[in-house]
Chains A and B, each alone.
Chain A
């Protein structure tokens, strides 16, 4: 549905988006991750045709966003960052306006408005002016606007920003449900959202794509993937560490905790261990009194940090 090819955006001397390419198909929910200022919003603004690209192309449903902007935009629903809405209008008036400008008239418009009002739980504020709404309601009003014409493509810039946990949950459910029939791209800072909603995630940093895969694939990139945490009674941390280093698959061992005769250590696997570390450690450590042995899953936040700020993480590891 969306095809982004070699997209570049230059602001002055800064390359805000630097040669990005990816595609989104129908039925896919793509999470767009990255630190602040990585170029997420700029990319989305180019996909929706708000900013003209400095280089490269974007096509939406086969229409080039620069050559055939009107046809392409018809297919897109867009929730910009900070969810702007006309503050001088009522929620009802605003949604009516959005429907009308999308070409919905008469009965079709009424149906569309009542559909999104129900989906986004806006009944109670329908006659209220947007200015007086709380942040959560204003956000949902703008979200409602983006799905009013039941678009094939949804571009959502931080759709859960500023919502309370319940509302976040609702919006995630909504995105996942709609993602079955549409192509959706949404940006977020919240990594748990990636697991909850996305079928695929892209991490960008300083304008470049640094990772692209399913949440599981990304997690595999983590140092934590396949790591083993051991809790042992009646052993000294020094001896345990020395012993663990003799296991061939172990790359690094850290002492997590040592008190009351218990020691907790964590062993990180070398590349290519493929989850065999727990077995190997179990075999090597039979003389110890193991209270707990736990194989860790990869952690997205750690992947995110190691990819987007490699220098800092390395320093912390020293």
Chain B
């Protein structure tokens, strides 16, 4: 049978699961509140006097995602393992890959929805001035890809344990590393300690470095490839972990 049909069946179920629990609504409300608060108060949207979302809005995304994306991803496999439904899911006539991709897509689409609901910010900036909407669009795309990378990492940690809390904390630490590797204060320290080559190597692993391009409105294939390969690699690792668990 068509693999995408199986994947879509899984995705539909997972999406449904988000919205029958309060988690989805709590997540969306918190995300939107954080976005609003940081953009207009902390980010100094009005004080900047420019019709742009890059600094006041998108700059915060890597930090929001640090806490929020692991919260979305933590239940993906940990809950299946805790309740035992993983035994049902993986004995259905589908491949483990279809289950993994289906679950990942559901969470990723959910994050897309949360992101899309920030549209009033875009309306506001358009009402107040004449921003470059192309830049805003690429920044949104970059933000979504970055969320996907975080999410895929949460998939791994979720498959590692049956405890959602453990999953949350581990993926938070890993994602924090991915941010800090490109965080200017950290880079400054590194530059004094090691050779420039090594600094480049470390920063090339950071989501910050690759998100930067999108924020400037540049669609660099290397940046896109970076996020997609983090996703691909993480999902592959998830499949290996799930297989090893069962191998005993």
Contact = CB atoms under 8 A, between A and B. Distances in A.
A292 to B, nearest CB: 51
Contact of B91 (A9, A11, A76, A88): A76
Contact of B20 (A9, A48, A129): A129
Contact of B84 (A51, A82, A89): A82
B248 A10 contact: yes
B93 A73 contact: yes
Contact of A97 (B9, B91, B93, B246): B9
A181 interface: no
Interface in B1-47: 1, 6, 9-10, 13, 16-17, 20-21
Interface in B80-103: 83-85, 87-88, 90-95
Interface string A219-255: 0000000000000000000000000000000000000
B123 interface: no
Interface in B43-76: none
Contacts, number: 75
Interface string A81-99: 1101111110001000110
B246 A50 contact: yes
Interface of A: 9-12, 45, 48-52, 54, 69-71, 73-74, 76, 78, 80-82, 84-89, 93, 97-98, 100-103, 129, 142, 145
B20 A103 contact: no
Given A88-B17, A142-B88, 17 more contacts: A11-B248, A49-B90, A51-B248, A70-B93, A70-B95, A78-B87, A78-B88, A80-B84, A81-B84, A84-B88, A88-B20, A89-B16, A89-B20, A101-B10, A101-B92, A101-B93, A145-B88
A73 B87 contact: no
Contact of A74 (B9, B83, B93, B247): B93
Taking residues whose C-beta sits less than 8 angstroms from the other chain, chain B's interface range is 20 to 34
B93 A86 contact: no
B13 A89 contact: yes
Interface class of chain B by DSSP? helix
B227 to A, nearest CB: 30
Given A11-B248, A89-B16, A89-B20, A84 B6 contact: no
A69 B91 CA distance: 9
B242 to A, nearest CB: 11
A21 B17 CA distance: 41
Contacts of A103: 1, 93
Given A11-B248, A73-B93, A97 B83 contact: no
Nearest to B102: A101
A37 B183 CA distance: 52
18 contacts: A9-B248, A48-B91, A49-B91, A50-B90, A51-B246, A52-B246, A52-B247, A54-B248, A69-B95, A71-B93, A80-B87, A80-B91, A82-B84, A88-B16, A89-B16, A93-B16, A103-B1, A129-B20
